[in-house]
Amino acid sequence: MLKRKIFSLMFICFICIISTLLSISICNPCLANATRSMSTSLTRFMVRDEYRCVYQTICCMYLTVPQDMTTTMIVNYQYNGPSLISSTVIVSANPFYIDGELLIADGAVYYYNSKCFVVHQIKEDNRYQCWSDITGLTPGTTYFYASIVTASDFQRNVSTHHNYKFRTAPTNDSFTFVSGVGRQWNEPAISLADLATATEPLFAMIGGDIIMNDGNGNCFLDWDYWFAMWHKHMTTPLGYTIPLLTSIGEREAGTFGAPREWDSFYLHYFPHQIGLQDINPQHRPTHHAHSINNLNILALDTNVHTSISDQVDFIKSQLSTKTTKHIVLYDLPMAMPHGSHNSIEWLTSNQMKEQWLPLMTDARMVFENHESPSDYQQINKTFYFGTGVGDTALIVDTKDYCVKFLRNREIHPKIICTTP
Q: What is the pLDDT of residues 81-137, one digit of tens each?
A: 888 888 999 999 988 877 666 677 778 889 999 999 999 999 889 999 999 999 999
pLDDT mean values, one per 10 residues, the chain (420 residues):
55 47 58 64 70 90 96 96 90 81 77 94 92 97 92 66 86 91 81 91 93 82 92 94 95 89 93 94 95 93 96 95 88 73 81 95 91 80 82 88 82 77
CA distance 374 to 180: 10
In CATH terms, 57-63+74-167 corresponds, of 3.40.390, 3.30.70, 1.10.10, 2.60.40, to: 2.60.40
> What does CATH list as the number for 176-417?
3.60.21.10
Q: What are phi and psi of 205, to 5 degrees?
A: -105, 135
Distance from C-alpha of 258 to C-alpha of 301, rounded to nearest angstrom? 12
Global model pTM greater than 0.85: yes
Q: Domain ranges in the chain? A: 2-46, 57-63+74-167, 176-417
Q: Tell me whether domains 57-63+74-167 and 176-417 share a fold.
A: no
